[in-house]
Structure 1
Amino acid sequence: MMMKRSSKEVEKNNDNSLQCLIEDGAATPFSTNKGELYCTISTSGINKNYLLSSDSFRVAFKSTYKKYTGKIITDNQFQYMLNEMEVIAFDNKLPYMLSNRICKHDNAIIYDMSEADNLCVKIKDGTCKIEETPKMLFRRTNIQADQVKPDFSVDETSLSKMLKKHLNIPGKKLRDLYAVWLASCFFPDIQHMILAVYGEKGSSKSTLLQRTVQIIDPVIKGAELNSIPKKSDLELRLDASLVCAFDNISSRQLKYISDLFCQSVTGSVAVKKKLYENTDLITTDLKSIVLLNGTELVISRSDLMERAILVPMKKLSPENIRNENEMEAVFRKALPRILGACLKIVAIASNDTVPITTGHKTRIASFYDTAIRVGRAMGFEDEYTDKLLIMNGKRGNRETLKNDVIVDCLLILLNGKQEYKNSMTNFFNELKEIAKSYNISLSEFPSIPNKLRAKLDRVQSNLKEEYGITYSVHNIGRYREIRIIQNMETDSIENS
């Protein structure tokens, strides 16, 4: 709590007013390990971190100064104090960055819950406790909303069952997979898989994304879903939000920003000039939990598909359609229990030290390990959670290959053969002849044989996992030879 000095005491030496504010904890300038200059403003027990360069800090500081001294600070006085605060902040450097909503600090997971009450959930040693939010941990944007108080009396193993009442996810296995993914989103130090939702109109895709945002990182009403912005704005969104949800996007929109979404999973930074008139560089962290939806699965690139949890949706039947306001009210009532279950699962899973022996079946190893431990906390056997992830991977393979005309023609060409060998030119011509005879469009065919290899390379891992097909290309004299091997014992997704 800030200890307010009398106005006379401050007025004795106006030059020391900033020092008084800092000594009493009303203002705490600091910088992050990225070099960003911040100041924590503490008012009535509420701590909020502001960038020193922001307009919101200028207003917040002037308001605090008036409450503290009883006087309004002039722009000249503020600029003088700002210069001093920048020096103090530069010297008071933290060894970490500020986080969005959730972070790991002093061997505990801290979930920022309420700005109004300055409360958080601290998860440590297998327990969840509601405590006062520490200073200098989180940055809060103007669209963030306070989270509801979690209900820790809930049975954490009932999470998937609770979600069934509020989300139109078809089938128990798919719902269990979503529940595992959802709880994993509360781990701040792992790679988070993209949630890709797809299905026909009227299947509650947007509702699923909205409620996912409300569970993990609530924002003001109407700000849950967004359209895809231009690349520079998207980088800022990925840096400023724990969760970014994009509604009704198309594969054409995703084509030019797939790399950014890949980077948002593995974690990366974008480096650019701070201003055109100088050479200072700033970094933007491309790390966020990305949610996508569309009438069709918009992900086509295999590298992005491997980083996604796929949720195909089915259209609601007429008898299951309800009034949106009534459904929202029912969900809001259940939200404390859903959140409580998620956080209890995190507490149990983060305290789990039993080795994982099922093996890594996904490309994102840190997510896989977390998913197995989350599954244990939910009452699942390791093998069951492992099968859920394998099922997701096979669905990704199928979706990647489904509309690929080259793959269609290749499967017809092999027709059960275990080995095929030919020059790349003859191979290319045979595929084109097959396409013509089966009335398959040639618009997606490469123009020349040399470009066929690049087309195959994009789906190489999918062909191997789905159909047991591997290939190699070698220079034989004056031509290039392709050799294709098909392992007939490999299961397809239909068999699995």
Structure 2
Amino acid sequence: MKSRLGENPKETDVQKLINLGADGVYFMDNLGEAYVEITEKNVRRSLKVNSKAYKLFLHQRFYNATGKPVSLEALKQAAYHFESIATFDGKVRKLSRRVALAKDGRIVYDLADSQSGAVIIGPNGCRAYKNGPGIFHRTTNTAPQVWPDFDEEHDLLKLLSKHFRTQLKKDLFLLAVYIVSCFIPEMPHPLLVLAGEKGAAKSTSMRMIRAIVDPARTDLLSMPNSTDNLGIILSNNYMPGFDNLDHLSPERSDLLCMAATGGSIAKRRLYTDDEEVILQLKRCVMLNGINIVVTRSDLLDRSIVIEFKRIPPSERKDEGEVWDAFRKDLPQILGSCLLLLSKAMAIFPQVELAEKPRMADFARWGYAIAEAMGKPGQLFLRAYNENQQCASQEILHNNPVAAALLKLMEDRREWESSPTALYTALQDVCMRNAIRISGRNWPESPNALTRRMNNLRSNLEQAGLFFESRKTGDRKIIITNEHYKPVSSLSLKKRRRGKMNP
């Protein structure tokens, strides 16, 4: 009896599966993972060969062709065969999450809908079309995006002001520039840190920002306990948003730094001893908390902190009402972001910054985006610089080491001593000024103190404190206060008499 495939009835299920999957395009991604491009109803998509999704696809084809299910073992063997084809016969193709850079320099944005829609953005405009290129890998958390409204140009700041309640007007401008920049692939992006008291709609704002850039089935994520799990989340989400944080460990801070500026981590492949999986990270990461959760200076230098206002009871709305209004505006918001990016792409080649801050690529693109919005690029640079300075001040006042150093040096031009003597002096300062020295933020030894000071170096230098550690002979730490202004003896006497404000 012949099978429905019209093949030899003695043919094994594995051979049938191989025949059924022969029309797939097998290739390797740039990290060495085997993929297949399949076409269903004229819609192309790329799947990992060993993924559950591809095995389900093969199972469905087998059932439609034979009228019976196929064993999991046969699926595994067929997938192994296709993996070898991808490895040894397939070409290498770079896959991206949500946003990709085309060979001609234009940007491709994945709408990830049932029609595999995409938007091409170039310096001459934007165009949305169906059945986009198979250059995107969509994870189980990837959700479809609305089609952008390009019918007319809308004021992005005006649209965003309807849905985001930032403490400062300039922060809304900074937020708008940041959101547009998130559509630029292969560029280091600052972390977006949302802060504000309870009831300031931080979580809702984060969900809306993600809905604009990278819609997800689970849009708010909890910070995992292990760095391996954090690496997987960062790899699988173009714009992961971590909700309601109160602390970041040094290990997680280091991984988030890598995610902002770009890097790769390796982890052991499941059920193997020596095979590795490479996870490539360059993401638009968001964090929120009642307080500013970023406390390490290296991560703060890569962050934008936006504070939100508490919503008064008289202005609160039902969640459904809030989201209905936002979804109504979303096509216009998305269209406005992409059109502004198109204009910025035409401006960007002419942008040269006299002074480049940390995250220089973002600063240069931010300048171009501001100009595309009809605002001076210098206005963006000033807002960005002030934002970083304010965040740095927050760390200096909330970090006990920084607070103690500032107090120690407020009436001194210079300090020179051994690390042990400095450690003792700082403890004494903390005791006299009620600065808490218990807990994880206070170093346990003089050696740990110098490491903490190195982590705070850029923040302390902004406050005028410069230090060096000399290792010739007895180790010495020298601190210089560039903001120190000597007070005359006459002024001191007047101060003591209360005749002069301190």
The answer, yes or no, to whether TM exceeds 0.5 is: yes
Q: In structure 2, what is the equivalent of residue 218 of structure 1?
A: 215
Tell me, yes or no, if structure 1 residue 235 matches structure 2 residue 231: yes
Q: In structure 1, what is the equivalent of residue 144 of structure 2?
A: 146
Equivalent positions of 1:385-404 (< 5 A) are 385-404=380-399
Q: Contact conserved, 1:51 with 1:57, CA < 8 A, in 2? A: yes
Q: Distance in 1 between matches of 2:193 and 2:239?
A: 13
Q: Distance in 2 between matches of 1:430 and 1:305?
A: 27
Deviation at 1:255? 4.2
Equivalent positions of 1:256-335 (< 5 A) are 256-335=251-330
Equivalent positions of 1:56-455 (< 5 A) are 56-65=53-62, 69=65, 72=68, 74-75=70-71, 78=75, 81-107=78-104, 108-155=106-153, 158-220=155-217, 223-231=218-226, 232-251=228-247, 253-443=248-438, 445-455=442-452
Q: Partner of 1:439: helix, strand, or coil?
A: coil
For each residue in 1:401-441, what CA deviation from the matched residue of structure 2 results, as whole angstroms up to 9, or x when unmatched? Answer: 11123333333333354334445444443333332222333
Q: Contact conserved, 1:32 with 1:93, CA < 8 A, in 2? A: no
For each residue in 1:304-338, what CA deviation from the matched residue of structure 2 results, as whole angstroms up to 9, or x when unmatched? Answer: 10111101122111222111101100000000000
Q: Distance in 2 between matches of 1:423 and 1:148?
A: 62
For each residue in 1:113-172, what CA deviation from the matched residue of structure 2 results, as whole angstroms up to 9, or x when unmatched? Answer: 14311211011243111123444311112232211110013425x112210101122222
Letter in 2 for 1:40: E
Deviation at 1:303? 0.5
Residues 152 and 407 of structure 1, relative CA distance in 2, 3 Å threshold? same
Deviation at 1:456? 1.9
Letter in 2 for 1:412: K
Q: Contact conserved, 1:33 with 1:94, CA < 8 A, in 2? A: no
Which range is displaced more, 306-315 or 133-142?
A: 133-142
Q: In structure 2, what is the equivalent of residue 4 of structure 1?
A: none
Letter in 2 for 1:464: E
Q: Distance in 2 between matches of 1:423 and 1:20?
A: 75
Residues 85 and 277 of structure 1, relative CA distance in 2, 3 Å threshold? closer
Q: In structure 2, what is the equivalent of residue 51 of structure 1?
A: 48
Q: Contact conserved, 2:112 with 2:138, CA < 8 A, in 1? A: no
Letter in 2 for 1:260: L
Q: Distance in 2 between matches of 1:53 and 1:122?
A: 30
Letter in 2 for 1:286: L
Q: Contact conserved, 2:4 with 2:66, CA < 8 A, in 1? A: no
Deviation at 1:175? 0.3
Question: Unpaired runs of 5+ in structure 1?
Answer: 1-6, 490-496
Q: Distance in 1 between matches of 2:471 and 2:86?
A: 62
Residues 391 and 61 of structure 1, relative CA distance in 2, 3 Å threshold? same
Q: Distance in 1 between matches of 2:425 and 2:274?
A: 55
Q: Contact conserved, 2:352 with 2:364, CA < 8 A, in 1? A: no
Letter in 2 for 1:329: D
Match for residue 484 of structure 1 among 480, 494, 499: 480
Q: Contact conserved, 2:3 with 2:66, CA < 8 A, in 1? A: no
Which range is displaced more, 377-386 or 480-489?
A: 480-489
Residues 74 and 455 of structure 1, relative CA distance in 2, 3 Å threshold? closer
Letter in 2 for 1:48: R
Q: Partner of 1:197: helix, strand, or coil?
A: strand
Which range is displaced more, 381-390 or 53-62?
A: 53-62
Residues 460 and 71 of structure 1, relative CA distance in 2, 3 Å threshold? same
Deviation at 1:233? 1.6
Q: Contact conserved, 2:125 with 2:342, CA < 8 A, in 1? A: yes
For each residue in 1:71-121, what CA deviation from the matched residue of structure 2 results, as whole angstroms up to 9, or x when unmatched? Answer: 557347655643442232223444443211111122221111143112110
Identity over aligned pairs, percent: 28
Deviation at 1:275? 3.7
Which range is displaced more, 196-205 or 90-99?
A: 90-99
Residues 78 and 206 of structure 1, relative CA distance in 2, 3 Å threshold? closer
Query: What CA RMSD, in Å, does the superposition of the two structures yield over aligned residues?
Result: 2.7
Q: Distance in 2 between matches of 1:118 and 1:479?
A: 63
Deviation at 1:20? 7.1
Residues 19 and 274 of structure 1, relative CA distance in 2, 3 Å threshold? closer
Q: Distance in 1 between matches of 2:16 and 2:133?
A: 22
Q: Distance in 1 between matches of 2:59 and 2:423?
A: 71
Q: Partner of 2:127: helix, strand, or coil?
A: strand
Letter in 1 for 2:156: L
Residues 18 and 202 of structure 1, relative CA distance in 2, 3 Å threshold? same
Q: Distance in 2 between matches of 1:91 and 1:447?
A: 54
Normalised by the length of structure 1, the TM-score is: 0.88
Q: Distance in 1 between matches of 2:467 and 2:79?
A: 64
For each residue in 1:351-397, what CA deviation from the matched residue of structure 2 results, as whole angstroms up to 9, or x when unmatched? Answer: 32443333344311221221111111111212111101101110221
Q: Distance in 1 between matches of 2:70 and 2:426?
A: 76
Q: Distance in 2 between matches of 1:81 and 1:373?
A: 50
Q: Distance in 1 between matches of 2:336 and 2:262?
A: 27
Q: In structure 2, what is the equivalent of residue 38 of structure 1?
A: 35
Deviation at 1:201? 0.6
Q: Partner of 1:343: helix, strand, or coil?
A: helix
Letter in 1 for 2:260: V
Q: Contact conserved, 2:17 with 2:75, CA < 8 A, in 1? A: no
Q: Contact conserved, 1:46 with 1:115, CA < 8 A, in 2? A: no
Residues 111 and 354 of structure 1, relative CA distance in 2, 3 Å threshold? closer
Q: Contact conserved, 2:348 with 2:365, CA < 8 A, in 1? A: no
Q: Distance in 2 between matches of 1:389 and 1:361?
A: 12
Q: Contact conserved, 2:17 with 2:58, CA < 8 A, in 1? A: no
Q: Contact conserved, 2:418 with 2:474, CA < 8 A, in 1? A: no
Residues 483 and 165 of structure 1, relative CA distance in 2, 3 Å threshold? closer
Which range is displaced more, 437-446 or 113-122?
A: 437-446
Q: Distance in 2 between matches of 1:81 and 1:415?
A: 72
How many residues are paired up?
475
